[in-house]
Amino acid sequence: MKVLIINGSPRKGNTLTAVKAITRGIESRTDAADIEITQIDAEGKNILPCKGCNACGSMSRCIFADDSPEINEAVEAADAIIFATPVYWWGVTAQLKLIIDKFYARATKLGSGKKIGTVVIGGAELDDPEYEIIQKQFECIAEYLGWEVAFAKSIFANDPKDLSQMEDTLAELEKLGAEL
Ligand SMILES: Cc1cc2nc3c(=O)[nH]c(=O)nc-3n(C[C@H](O)[C@H](O)[C@H](O)COP(=O)(O)O)c2cc1C
Domains of the chain plus CATH, in order, are 2-178 (3.40.50.360)
- In whole angstroms, what is the distance from residue 16 CA to residue 164 CA? 10
Distance 91 CA to ligand 1 centre (A): 10
Tell me if 122 CB under 6 Å of ligand 1. yes
- Alpha-carbon distance values, 174 to 21, 84, 148 (Å): 5, 14, 20
Nearest Cα to 4, choosing from 67, 91, 73? Answer: 73
Residue 121's beta-bridge partner residues? 86, 155
pLDDT by residue for the chain (180 residues), tens only, comes to 999 999 999 999 999 999 999 999 999 999 999 999 999 999 999 999 999 999 999 999 999 999 999 999 999 999 999 999 999 999 999 999 999 999 999 999 999 999 999 999 999 999 999 999 999 999 999 999 999 999 999 999 999 999 999 999 999 999 999 999
Query: From the alpha carbon of 15, which atom of ligand 1 is closest?
Result: 26
